[in-house]
């Protein structure tokens, strides 16, 4: 059970994560913020807290993904209960706007 002070039952702090998103270049500028907000909302609704969100801008991909050669990169730093990581990744996999993502659990 997650409490409001971000501590799990065993008395340990919630693990820290970094999430890198590559968003399709076809997504309009005003819709990009909506896409990133969906991810932020998921994290906060599951009891996590977001410490930082960085936009890295439009960058060339190392190889084409779904026939795209570039994408918009974002980094989201947050903490969240470990049980919700798989659910977050499942939601990102079915998102048409997100070309790729990488979720990393940071060591304490």
Q: What DSSP letter does each residue of 13-70 carry, written as one string?
A: BPPEEEEEEEE-TTS-HHHHHHHHHHHHHHHHHTT-EEEEEEEEEEEEEEEEETTEEE
Mean pLDDT by 10 residues, the chain (108 residues): 45 86 93 93 93 95 94 96 91 94 90
Cα separation of 69 and 61, whole Å? 5
pLDDT at site 9: 55
Map out the domains of the chain with their CATH numbers.
Answer: 19-105 (3.30.70.60)
pLDDT at site 11: 57
The answer to whether 98 touches 35, Cβ cutoff 8 Å, is yes
Which pTM does this prediction carry? 0.84
């Amino acid at each position: 059970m997650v409490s409001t002070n971000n501590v799990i039952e065993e008395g340990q702090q919630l693990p820290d994560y970094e999430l890198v998103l590559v968003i399709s270049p076809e997504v309009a500028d005003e819709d990009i913020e909506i896409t990133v907000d969906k991810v932020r909302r998921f994290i906060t609704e599951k009891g996590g807290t977001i410490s930082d969100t960085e936009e890295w801008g439009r960058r060339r991909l190392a190889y084409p993904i779904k026939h795209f050669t570039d994408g918009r990169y974002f980094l989201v730093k947050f903490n969240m209960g470990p049980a919700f990581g798989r659910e977050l990744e499942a939601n990102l996999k079915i998102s048409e706007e997100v070309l790729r993502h990488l979720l990393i659990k940071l060591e304490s």
